[in-house]
Amino acid sequence: MMTSTATRGAGTAGPSLGLVRSEDPAQLLAHAHATLARAFSLLGPAPDSGPDDASGASDSATPIGIDSLLASIEISEQILALAGATQMSASVAFRAGRIAKQRADGVPRKDLGKGVAEEIALVRRASPARTRNHLALERVVVESMPRTLDLLARGEICTWAADEVAKGVICLDDEDRARVDRDISAQLPEVSPTRAGVPARARADELDQAAALARHEREVSERHVSIRPASGSTVRLSALLPLAEGVAVYKVLDRAASTARSQGVEGTRGQHMADALVARVTGQQDPGSMGVEIQLMMTDKALLDEADDVAWIDGHPVPAGIARRFALHGDPEDDSTAQRFVRRLLTDPISGRLTAADDTRRRFSGPDRRFIEIADQRCRTPWCEARIRHIDHVESYVDGGATRIDNGAGLCESCNYLMETQGWIEEIGTGAADGHDGSGPPDASAGPEPPPDRTLRLTTPTGRTFTSAPPPLRWPRPDLDAASQHDDHSVEAHPEGDRLDRPSAPSG
């Protein structure tokens, strides 16, 4: 979890983007926000009533009628659509204004627009990658499809439908997009969001066969694999594949499931297909013998004393009982099963953040890099959540920045390159207390000490400042007795190690 805040100088309107208006749209939106907040307070439960209190408001309050409630739902949907159209227009105008400012500042043509989507992502509290995709679709609607934008502003379609239309015509030029917009706009209010892109794609294919081929190539180029949590025990592994390859993969898995069922193997077809997928990707028929490093974070008490402290795998919570089963599975004397080993980690008892780590085994370039990768977990840019690919020198190495923990931050590749863009300022805390210089993990034998201040501060070219603190390795326990605060011990269990060793007790 990324803790982030944004600040902006009081009373500043920010740099002008060249728009001339008699009223400030931001102020109008602020007034509208206040009105919506008032409506929300009227619809919310009374302060003293709980969720099961059937009486709702006090006896002196007038109940809200059913018709008013239904109308509130309908109008709220219209407001969502209008807000989406407003945000689209503001985002596209902001992009144009920032590029004009970059051009005036002498930014090379090839670098125009760099960092703009990332600025928008920060104020939207969204990932840069997602925002870049949305901004591309929004430009199509705002710049080339006025009828679709008008339908959205009137609440006759939703932003989802507008996005689907934009996807269908994104490979056309502006003139052909405008023709599609004119031809299909009357149909859009009558179709579902999932179907809104169908007439757009059909008309686009008729207008420009080459564009249809370009769209096909673009969609194929976007093939990828992603993962997200589905529950405490499962994740959803998704693959976006070209049509032929995707069908072929599914048929192979389906055939494997049919074979298993014909042989009398217990399980549903879906279970057999999932097992076949794992076996073919990992090369192991037994999932317990996979020789891939998977970081399992759990406390020593949960591992060895059957405590109920939740464990973590790649940022996903895992019940302690399931984590113990995973960590203790396998026979140390059997080479056919994946081996386990334990690395001791020290976490702050209040924040849960990493303060130290043993360097028993390193696959990278030393304990400092490993420390940052474990401590940061995901890209430190607020709301990015991409995997760490680079360890960034917050104070640039060429400017004298030291290669040590209190000057390092885990970033994805895109965000690391973004920090080299003109106007972006990156700062980090100034190290640990009690004389520790931040180079290497603190010495556990010296007793508990405050961890390095690794709060990251990002300032955008428009002057907004965002901060993000490293996420906790474990969620702090609210019942922790302050009188007995001491460093908690977490263990990190990995397959492919030599053996399962009990974590050593802290010295001192």
Query: What is the pLDDT, as a whole number, of residue 232?
Result: 63
pTM of the model: 0.65
Cβ neighbours around 251 below 10 Å, total:
10
Please give the Cα distance from 24 to 90 (Å, whole number).
Answer: 12
How, if at all, do strands 296-299 and 311-313 pair?
antiparallel
- Residue 231 CA to residue 78 CA, distance in Å, equals 33
Per-residue pLDDT tens digits for 448-484? 555 567 889 999 998 999 998 888 766 655 555 444 4
Q: What are 19-77's pLDDT values in tens digits?
A: 556 789 999 999 999 999 999 999 877 655 555 554 444 444 678 889 999 999 999 99
Phi, psi values for residue 33, rounded to 5°: -60, -40
pLDDT of residue 501: 37
User: Which residues of the chain have a pLDDT value below 70?
Assistant: 1-21, 46-61, 232, 286-306, 312-317, 325-366, 430-452, 473-508
Looking only at the bridges linking them, the beta strands covering 316-318 and 311-313 are: antiparallel
In angstroms, the first-to-last Cα distance of the chain is: 32
* pLDDT for res 44: 78
The reported pLDDT for the residue numbered 99 is 95
Give the pair of three-digit tokens for residue 126. Answer: 């969204």
Q: Helices marked H in 377-458 — which ranges?
A: 413-418
**Angle 175-181-184 from CA coordinates, rounded to 5°:** 140
Q: Report the side by side order of strands in the sheet with 456-459.
A: 3-7, 465-469, 456-459, 425-428
DSSP string, 322-367: HHHHHHH-S-TT-TTS--EEEEEEEE-TTT--EEEE--S--SSS-H
Both structure tokens of 197: 């892109």
- Tell me the residue ranges of DSSP E strands in 382-431: 390-393, 408-411, 425-428
Cα 41 vs. chain centroid, distance in angstroms? 30
* Beta carbons within 10 angstroms of residue 128's beta carbon: 24
Is residue 453 left, alpha or beta, with left meaning phi > 0 and alpha meaning psi from -120 to 50? beta
In angstroms and rounded to an integer, the radius of gyration of the C-alpha atoms of the chain is 27
pLDDT at 495: 44
CB 458 within 8 Å of CB 425: yes
In the chain, the amino acid numbered 354 is: L
C-beta contacts of 149-154 below 8 A and 24+ residues apart: 149/85, 149/88, 149/89, 151/185, 151/188, 151/189, 152/81, 152/82, 152/84, 152/85, 152/88, 153/81, 153/82, 153/85, 153/86, 154/78, 154/81, 154/82
pLDDT for the residue numbered 470: 86
